[in-house]
Amino acid sequence: MESNSKIYVAGHKGLVGSAIWRNLQSKGYTNLIGRTFAELDLRNQLAVEQFFAAENPEYVILAAARVGGIMANNTYRADFIYDNLMVQNNVIHQAYVNGVKKLLFLGSTCIYPKEAPQPMKEEYLLTGPLEYTNEPYAIAKIAGIKMCESYNIQYGTNFISVMPTNQYGPNDNFDLEKSHVLPALLRKVHLGKLLEVGNFDALREDLGTEDGRQETEDRRQD
């Protein structure tokens, strides 16, 4: 990619997307495109079609997804499979339609079988049953991987998939119900410390927000 290449980072406000955004900026890339959920609902086929036609990005990094921990995955099963399939289908297809030079799709290690041998290898994919609690999310991610593969085979696109392991850091989701284990533990430690020192004003302020942060932007695709 050139420093002025037009790069669309889908999910640029989330944990992984924002880290990628910062990394690209640090390397001198100056033509980055990002849209929040309020600005562009990636589940909306027409909206995504119009966005790609108007912006015509050269490269796409697909980090947008509905994500969450075990409780969220197992409680909102329909939302996880529907939202992620819709986002992936729309972005990947429009990347093909608009001649995107390269697309990077972010998957998840939960795509591998529950009883996969350790250490896990790529060839273990689809060799056994998935972990049931996050099966809808995993199936959606597997579909995204196979969609990229299928478009490459049929249309000669350059769509690649990567499977990051567990992450945590800036712009993570600290919601006590929907977050992953590490951010939930970090927030509980923070809340426990506030309780220990008797800082009830800070405690009330923290518990008055969805996940310990002041912003209330919808996180479904960020």
Q: Which residues are catalytic?
A: 137
Please give the Cα distance from 176 to 69 (Å, whole number). Answer: 10
Q: Which of 25, 54, 58, 26 lies closest to 40 in space, CA to CA?
A: 54
**Number of Cβ atoms within 10 Å of the Cβ of 128:** 12
DSSP letter string, 75-103: HSHHHHHHHHHHHHHHHHHHHHHTT-SEE
Yes or no: say if 134 and 112 are a contact pair by the CB < 8 Å rule.
no
List phi, psi (to 5°) of 141: -65, -40
**Number of Cβ atoms within 10 Å of the Cβ of 214:** 8
Please give the Cα distance from 45 to 199 (Å, whole number). Answer: 47
Tell me whether the omega of the peptide bond preceding residue 113 falls within 30 degrees of 0, making it cis: no
